[in-house]
Structure formats: C-alpha cells, structure tokens
C-alpha cells in the first residue's frame, strides 16, 4: 500500500512521493504515514481506501489540508472494512476535511490517538439502501470542524463507549437514524459553539448526546432525539453552556422499544425563554409516536416548554407518548393528537402560562387513548383556554390558580383525582370512562371544599364488570346525568359506586339505563360506611331502566322509579312494572 | 380605586398529596368584601411556595372584585 515518503516534493498528488507502490492512493488503496514520513500537502482532492497516520511509531510531521481527503472504497464486491487512524504527534494545517464513505457491508473504525481533528469530519454512505453500518470508536475524538453523520437513509450504528466532541456544527445528514449499540453506547458531546441541525425530523439520534460547552449551542428547528436507534442507557443530557432552541424539537417514540433518559435542566420559571445559560428550554416541543405500546422517556429534573407542547403521531390509533418522572413546565398551550400515557413514575405537567389546550376528538376514549396521565397542575397568572374536551387518564389534576376558559368544553376522565376545580365554577362537561384496563373500576376522586358543579355528566366506555367509583371529600351536582349502558357490548355489570359521607345531586335530567332487559345486575351503590345522598331534584326528568340501588339515600328529592332494577336498603327508590304504554312521571315535593 | 386586603387561613389540611388551604380574604378601602375560597397546592415544598400561590389567588379575586364594581357602576349609568 502506498506509504508517504515525499521524495520529490510535498504534494500528495505526485506519484513519486509515494512508495510501495510509487502511486498516488486511490479508492482501492490505502494512504499510509509513518514516523519516517515528511511533511505533506494535500494539493489535490485526496482519495484512499483507508487513512493511517499511525504506522510505525506514528506520523510526527505536518499534513497541510489544502483539499479534503475522501476515505473509503466506492463499490465493494466483498465486505470491506474502513479505518481512519490519526497520530498523536502529527500536526494538521489547512482547512480541508476528512470525508468517509462508509459502506454498509463493513465496519468503519475511527482511532484518534488523542489527536484533535481541526476541520470538517463527515461519515456518509455510497449505497442508498438504508441498511446499517457499524462505526466503531476505538477512543475519544475531538472534531473542531463541522461533524456530519449520515446521508440518504443510511443508518450508522455507533459501537464503543467513547465520545466524539463536536466543537463546531453538528449535522445529522441521514433521514433515518444514528443508532447505538447495547452495552457500548457512544456519546456525542456538543462542546463548542455551533448549530445542531438535521436533514429530517423523522431521523432520530440514539447515541448519547451531551451538551457541555463554554460556548453556545443552537438547536435548529426539526432536530430530534430518541426512537429506534436508542439502547439501554441512551440519554440526552445537559451539563453546561448556553442553548438556543429554535422552532420545534421532537422526541421520538417507537413501538415497544427500550426507554431512554433526558436530563436537560429546563427552567421552571414562567418567564423562561428559549435561550438559556443553565439548561435546555424548548421553544416548541413535540412528541412523535407511531406506537400503541410506546417507548418510555425517563425524565430527570425539569423540561421547559416556552411555546407549545404537542403530540403529532403518524397513526391516530397508535398515538401514545409515555413519560416517566420529572416535571414538564408548560408556558404555552398544548395540542395533543395523541395522549400522554402512564409511565413507571408519574410525570408532573404544570400549565403555568397562557395558551390553548386542545386534544384530538378522534382519539377513542373507550380504549383509554386520550388525555394526560400523571400529575397535571394548573397554576398560572395567565389564561388556559380549552379548544376541545381535554382528558385526564390515570391522573391527579389540581387547580391552584389561573383563568381557565372552558368555552363550552370540559373534561373526560378515566381514573382521576380532580382537586380545587370548584373554584372555576360550573364544568360544562365531565365524561367518565371505564374500560377493561380500569381494573376493579375507574375512580373519579373529587377533593374540594364544595360539591363539583357540572352541567353534563356522562358515563361511557362500558365493559364487562367495570365500574365507576366516585370518592373523595366531596360529591357533585350535575344538571344532566347520562348513564346508558351500550347496546351490543358483552355482558356488562357496570355499577356506579358513590362514597358514603358525600352528596350527589341531579337537578334536571337523570337517565340511568341498563344495556337491555337481560342485564339486571347493575346498580348505584354505596362505598364505605355511612350515608350517601343521591338526590334527584323535584321536577327533574328521570328514566331508569333495569338499574337498581343499594344503600342509597334519595329521601331529599323526588322518588326514583326503576323499571325492574334491584333495590335494596335504599330510601325513596321504587320499582314499577313496565306498562304496555310507557310513560314517565315524577312526584313533586 | 384603592383596595387593600388581608387574609386569614381558616383551615389547612392534607388531602392525599395535596395541601388545601381555606382562606378568608378581607378587602377594604373603596370596596369592603370578604371572599372565602380554597386554594389547592400540589406537593408544596416550602411555606413561601404556598404563600405565593395564595397571593396569586388574592390578585385574581381582586381583579374579579374590581370587574364587578365596574359592572355595577355601568349598570347604574345605563
């Protein structure tokens, strides 16, 4: 393989300067520099199969990068490994970079021997099939020029628990992903002043990414982290530096994949901006998922969203974003075409700014695919406006402060605690869902100083034996109450369990119907010891069909007439036979 | 319009992992009114945090009070 001897002059492009053979390296031959090699100037675009500056005891002279060197064969017939090896004693002048053609049929090995590469450094692929190629880090690298990884749909898979410190711009050129290897996750450190940009938001980063700089990192709109390229231990972290977030950043989830961690020291301030010297404050933050069983993001510390948070999923029925732990501070609104599912540890989402909160109404409540799980806090000096019904799944929702404009919308809940919401006045709609995933029943816990006022209380998502349980320190007062077990659903025994000590009241319309006359087991019943008052106001409409009551006290209102329901130790409920002509009546007080 | 206020915590209790504070806000000056309300705090860690939440609620109640006064004035003028 050609070894540099500089016999004639210092020009790379002169054949007589090389030996064994005396030929300028090509894409099929290596370029070798050893301890006997003199200074070299890359006076033409350099090409070689492998680039080795560490032959013998290592190159100790100066290579002047007047042009770039492209390393790697062009079109192999057999699997071809590629290597770039620097020497600790070499000097690098000029501005030309190293471009590595990595073929997906071999391993690319990178060895710095502690030498900082001062210019651009890029790894790309000559084949467009999108297959994977191993990039093996033999030691830590420092690149002071633009670091570009990937091209086309190439998937570089980094192997080696070492780092590449990018002190200038960082570009992800592939539209697929930059992947990591289990047990040997490589790290990219953004260590200088530069811009992180990506060819596509779909592409994702699975190696560790750490921001640790005395300078400023600008994260361009369209950057992303996570997804299929991650492995156990993959993380996106902040250590030091000023970070400017532009546009929208995306965290990617994929189907049933390994969890990754983020630790970004976002600000908890209501006046945070997208430029921070103490952490990463996202301008807009998006979560993308095509998964019904989603990859979990473990959140350490705070995530700050200055603008809006969103979930934008590619498949509406697989729109699950799972976060675990940490705090997400929302200084704007939320737009969820998808749902935040429950993680291992609840994440706390705090609405502390002004914005609109919307959720796609095409998300299917009956299958638990809606809303936010975790802890939701509304504590703002601003205004949160609902742009649709919004959901609390497995959630504790607390209202502390702020203007909330319902705009005719309300909440749908699964297993949820609502605390403090009576301060906001009457809730236009509360839709309570139970599903097979609710276990023994879907809880609605109301912790408040007075009964929660609701215009329309709706129950839905009936499934076999899954009940609704209302507990907490207070009950509710609803204008209309609609509990209609769904026709066509399998054997359904969904009871409504109300907690002793609380009062529940319906003022206008009470519809409490079984699925069919064959379903006689469903009841309204008491949970706990003591009295539970369920009052149907005088003058209200009622329609109770094959639903019963157990240990309910309805003596403060009109008599409730149940057609064929089972009534046990209950006050002011009576059965009546189904007449040939159906009618409804009420007893006025 | 000059309105002063003081507040008294009538009751404080833990409800699961929430702190509930029942407060009485006494507004004086151009308007004299007492407002009773409850502020819920999710896992508060310091007294200052709780007091800050109460202060924000008082500011909101004061805005509401001022708005009501303006509306009442408009009604008398219409």
Contact: A419, B56; criterion CB under 8 Å: no
pLDDT at position B65 = 87
What backbone phi and psi angles, to 5 degrees, belong to A438?
-80, 0
Band the pLDDT of A342: cuts 50, 70, 90. confident
Residue of B35, B40, B58 to mutate, interface with A, max A Cβ within 10 Å: B40
pLDDT at position A129 = 63
Which is more confidently placed, A433 or A458? A458
Q: How far is A378 from chain B (nearest CA, A)?
A: 10
What backbone phi and psi angles, to 5 degrees, belong to B77?
-85, -25
Q: Provide the strand spans (E) within A147-234.
A: 147-149, 155-159, 163-166, 170-172, 177-180, 187-190, 194-198, 204-205, 208-219, 224-226
pLDDT at position B2 = 80
Contact: B16, A447; criterion CB under 8 Å: yes
Reported as a single tens digit per residue, the pLDDT across A388-447 is 999 998 899 999 999 999 999 999 998 999 999 999 999 999 999 887 655 667 899 999
Whole-number Å distance between alpha carbons of A418 and B15: 12
Reported as a single tens digit per residue, the pLDDT across A78-110 is 668 899 999 999 999 999 999 998 877 789 999
Contact: B38, A419; criterion CB under 8 Å: no
Task: State the DSSP code for A255.
Answer: B
Whole-number Å distance between alpha carbons of A409 and A417: 19
Band the pLDDT of A279: cuts 50, 70, 90. very high
Which residue of chain A comes nearest to B51, CA vs CA?
Answer: A400
Q: How many C-beta neighbours within 10 Å does residue A119 have? A: 18
User: Does the structure show a pLDDT above 90 at A537?
Assistant: yes
Query: Contacts of residue B38 in chain A, CB cutoff 8 Å?
Result: 420, 422-423, 448-449
pLDDT at position A223 = 95
Decide: helix, strand or coil at residue A387.
coil
Mean pLDDT of A8-30: 93
Contact: B42, A473; criterion CB under 8 Å: no
The burial class, CB within 10 Å (0-12 / 13-18 / 19+), for B1 is: exposed
Task: State the DSSP code for A486.
Answer: P
How many Cα atoms within 13 Å fall on the side-chain side of residue B70? 7
Residue of B14, B42, B57, B64 to mutate, interface with A, max A Cβ within 10 Å: B42
What backbone phi and psi angles, to 5 degrees, belong to B75?
-60, -40
Q: How far is B56 from chain A (nearest CA, A)?
A: 7
Query: Contacts of residue A398 in chain B, CB cutoff 8 Å?
Result: 18, 40-42
pLDDT at position A106 = 83
Which is more confidently placed, A206 or A439? A206
Query: Contacts of residue A392 in chain B, CB cutoff 8 Å?
Result: none
pLDDT at position A367 = 56
Contact: B60, A402; criterion CB under 8 Å: yes
**Whose CA is closest to A169, among A188, A142, A196, A130?**
A196
Query: Contacts of residue A419 in chain B, CB cutoff 8 Å?
Result: 15, 18, 20, 40, 42
How many inter-chain contacts (A to B, CB under 8 Å) are there?
Answer: 58
Q: How far is A506 from chain B (nearest CA, A)?
A: 24
Mean pLDDT of A577-588: 57
Residues of chain A that touch chain B, judged by Cβ-Cβ distance less than 8 Å: 348, 375, 377, 379, 381, 396, 398-403, 417, 419-420, 422-423, 447-449, 473
How many Cα atoms within 13 Å fall on the side-chain side of residue A83? 15
Q: How far is B71 from chain A (nearest CA, A)?
A: 19
Query: Contacts of residue A377 in chain B, CB cutoff 8 Å?
Result: 42
Whole-number Å distance between alpha carbons of A393 and A240: 36
Contact: B40, A417; criterion CB under 8 Å: no
Whole-number Å distance between alpha carbons of A249 and A227: 14
Query: Contacts of residue B18 in chain A, CB cutoff 8 Å?
Result: 396, 398, 419-420, 447
pTM metric for this prediction? 0.92
Residue in A379, A417, A473 nearest the CB of B53:
A379
Decide: helix, strand or coil at residue A421.
helix
pLDDT at position A588 = 60
Mean residue pLDDT across chain A: 90
Reported as a single tens digit per residue, the pLDDT across A242-275 is 999 999 999 998 876 789 999 999 999 999 999 9
Reported as a single tens digit per residue, the pLDDT across A349-384 is 999 999 999 998 666 655 557 889 999 999 999 999
Contacts from A51-56 at CB under 8 Å and sequence distance 24+? A51/A83, A51/A84, A51/A85, A51/A98, A52/A83, A52/A84, A52/A85, A53/A85, A53/A86, A53/A87, A53/A90, A53/A115, A54/A85, A54/A86, A54/A87, A54/A111, A54/A113, A55/A3
> Which residues in chain B (28-57) have CB-CB distances under 8 A to chain A?
37-42, 53, 56-57
Q: How many C-beta neighbours within 10 Å does residue A486 have? A: 14
Reported as a single tens digit per residue, the pLDDT across A159-189 is 999 999 999 999 999 888 899 988 899 999 9
Task: State the DSSP code for A345.
Answer: S
User: Does the structure show a pLDDT above 70 at A512?
Assistant: yes
Band the pLDDT of A580: cuts 50, 70, 90. very low
| B66 close contact with A: CB closer than 8 A | no
Contact: B39, A381; criterion CB under 8 Å: no
CA distances from A277 to A39, A316, A490, A506 (A): 43, 37, 57, 54
Preceding omega of B16 cis (within 30 degrees of 0): no
Residue in B18, B38, B59 nearest the CB of A449:
B38
| A344 Cβ neighbours under 8 A, 6+ residues apart | A296, A298, A324, A325
CA distances from A489 to A130, A486, B25 (A): 46, 6, 52
Which residue of chain B comes nearest to A375, CA vs CA?
Answer: B42
What backbone phi and psi angles, to 5 degrees, belong to A421?
-75, -10
Mean residue pLDDT across chain B: 92
Which is more confidently placed, B31 or A71? A71
Contact: B39, A379; criterion CB under 8 Å: no
Mean pLDDT of A6-12: 95
CA dihedral A546→A552→A557→A560, nearest 10 degrees, is 10
**Whose CA is closest to A18, among A27, A29, A28?**
A29
Residue in B16, B18, B53 nearest the CB of A401:
B53
pLDDT at position A578 = 60
Which residue of chain B comes nearest to A417, CA vs CA?
Answer: B16
| B2 Cβ neighbours under 8 A, 6+ residues apart | B29, B30
| B69 Cβ neighbours under 8 A, 6+ residues apart | B1, B30, B31
| B14 close contact with A: CB closer than 8 A | no
Query: Contacts of residue B17 in chain A, CB cutoff 8 Å?
Result: 396
pLDDT at position A256 = 66
**Whose CA is closest to A442, among A461, A455, A458, A457?**
A461
Contact: B40, A396; criterion CB under 8 Å: no
């Amino acid at each position: 393989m050609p070894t540099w001897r500089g016999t004639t002059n210092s020009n790379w492009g002169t054949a007589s300067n090389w030996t064994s053979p005396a030929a300028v390296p090509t894409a099929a031959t290596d370029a070798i520099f050893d301890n006997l090699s003199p200074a070299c100037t890359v006076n033409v675009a350099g090409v070689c199969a492998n680039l080795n500056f560490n032959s013998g005891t290592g190159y100790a002279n100066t290579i002047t990068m007047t042009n770039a060197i492209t390393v790697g064969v062009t079109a192999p017939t057999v699997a071809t490994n590629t290597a770039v090896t620097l020497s600790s004693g070499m000097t690098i002048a000029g501005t030309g970079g190293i471009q590595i053609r990595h073929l997906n049929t071999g391993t690319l090995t990178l060895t710095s021997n502690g030498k900082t590469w001062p210019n651009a450094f890029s790894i790309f692929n000559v084949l467009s099939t999108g297959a994977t190629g191993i990039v093996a880090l033999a030691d830590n690298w420092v690149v002071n020029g633009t670091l570009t990884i990937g091209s086309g749909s190439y998937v570089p898979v980094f192997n080696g628990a070492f780092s590449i410190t990018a002190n200038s711009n960082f570009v992800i050129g592939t539209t697929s992903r930059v992947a990591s290897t289990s047990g040997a996750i490589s790290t990219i450190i953004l260590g200088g002043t530069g811009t992180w940009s990506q060819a596509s938001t779909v592409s994702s980063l699975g190696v560790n990414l750490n921001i640790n700089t005395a300078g400023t990192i600008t994260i361009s709109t369209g950057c992303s982290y996570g997804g299929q390229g991650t492995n156990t231990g993959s993380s996106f972290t902040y250590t030091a530096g000023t970070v400017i977030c532009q546009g929208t950043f995306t965290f990617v989830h994929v189907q049933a994949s390994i969890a990754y961690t983020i630790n970004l020291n976002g600000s908890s301030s209501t006046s945070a901006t997208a430029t921070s010297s103490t952490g990463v404050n996202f301008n807009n933050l998006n979560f993308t998922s095509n998964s019904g069983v989603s990859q979990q993001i473990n959140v350490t510390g705070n995530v700050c969203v200055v603008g809006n948070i969103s979930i934008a999923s590619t498949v509406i029925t697989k729109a699950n974003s799972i976060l675990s732990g940490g705090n997400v501070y929302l200084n704007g609104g939320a737009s969820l075409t998808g749902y935040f599912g429950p993680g291992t540890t609840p994440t706390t989402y705090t609405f502390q700014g002004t914005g609109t909160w919307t959720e796609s109404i095409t998300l299917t409540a009956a299958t638990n695919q809606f809303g936010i799980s975790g802890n939701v806090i509304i504590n703002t000096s601003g205004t949160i406006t609902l742009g649709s019904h919004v959901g609390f799944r497995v959630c504790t929702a607390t209202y502390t402060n702020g203007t909330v404009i319902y705009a005719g919308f309300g909440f749908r809940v699964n297993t949820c605690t609502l605390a403090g919401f009576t301060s906001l006045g009457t809730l236009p709609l509360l839709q309570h869902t139970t599903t097979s995933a609710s276990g023994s029943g879907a809880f609605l816990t109301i912790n408040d100083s007075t009964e929660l006022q609701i215009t329309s209380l709706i129950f839905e998502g009936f499934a076999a034996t899954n009940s609704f349980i209302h507990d907490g320190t207070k009950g509710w007062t609803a204008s209309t109450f609609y509990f209609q077990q769904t026709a066509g659903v399998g054997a359904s025994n969904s009871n409504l369990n109300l907690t002793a000590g609380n009062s529940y009241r319906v003022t206008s319309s009470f519809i409490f119907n079984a699925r069919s006359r064959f379903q006689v087991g469903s009841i309204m019943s008491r949970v706990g010891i003591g009295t539970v008052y369920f009052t149907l106001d005088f003058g209200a409409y009622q329609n109770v069909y094959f639903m019963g009551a157990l240990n309910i006290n309805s003596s403060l209102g009109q008599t409730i007439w149940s057609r064929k329901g089972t009534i046990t130790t209950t006050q002011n409920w009576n059965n009546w036979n189904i007449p040939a002509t159906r009618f409804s009546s009420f007893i006025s007080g | 319009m000059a309105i002063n206020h003081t507040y008294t915590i009538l009751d404080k209790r833990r409800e699961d992992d929430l702190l509930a504070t029942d407060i009485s806000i006494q507004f004086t000056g151009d308007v004299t009114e007492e407002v009773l309300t409850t502020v819920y705090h999710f896992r508060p860690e310091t007294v200052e945090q709780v007091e800050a939440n109460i202060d924000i609620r008082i500011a909101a109640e004061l805005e509401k009070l001022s708005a009501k006064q303006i509306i009442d004035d408009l009604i008398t003028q219409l």
